[in-house]
Amino acid sequence: MSRVCDVCGRKPVTGHQISHADNRTKRRWLPNLQRVRVRTASGGVKRMKVCTSCLKSNKIAKAPRRSGAAVNAG
C-alpha cells in the first residue's frame, strides 16, 4: 500500500531517532492519510488517500454521505 497523498503527493520522509545518549537509529515520519470519498470533476465518486492538510485547506470536495434509506431500499 502506497503511503502517498493523491492530491499533493506528500510521502514519508526519513531521518534519525536520537536517544538521550545521542544514539541515532533510522526512522520514518508518515503523512496522516485518510481514505475519503471524493467527488470527481465528471460528477462521479472516487475513494482517495488524502493527507489531513489537504482536507483542512479544502483542496478536494468530499462526496456527500450516502443516505441509509437509499442503500437499504434494495
Residue 36 contacts residue 62 (beta carbons within 8 Å): yes
pLDDT of 65 reads 85
> pLDDT per residue over 21-68, tens digit each?
999 999 999 999 999 999 888 888 999 999 999 999 999 888 888 776
pLDDT of 68 reads 67
Confidence of residue 10 (pLDDT cuts 50, 70, 90): very high
71 has pLDDT over 60 = no
d(CA 21, CA 55): 39
pLDDT of 35 reads 96
- Burial code (b: 16+ CB inside 10 Å, e: under 16) for 21-55 equals eeeeeeeeeebebeebebeeeeeeeeebbbbeebb
Collect all residues with Cβ–Cβ distance below 8 Å to 62 and sequence separation of at least 6. Answer: 36, 37, 38, 39, 55
Domains of the chain (ranges, CATH numbers): 13-63 (2.30.170)
pLDDT of 33 reads 97
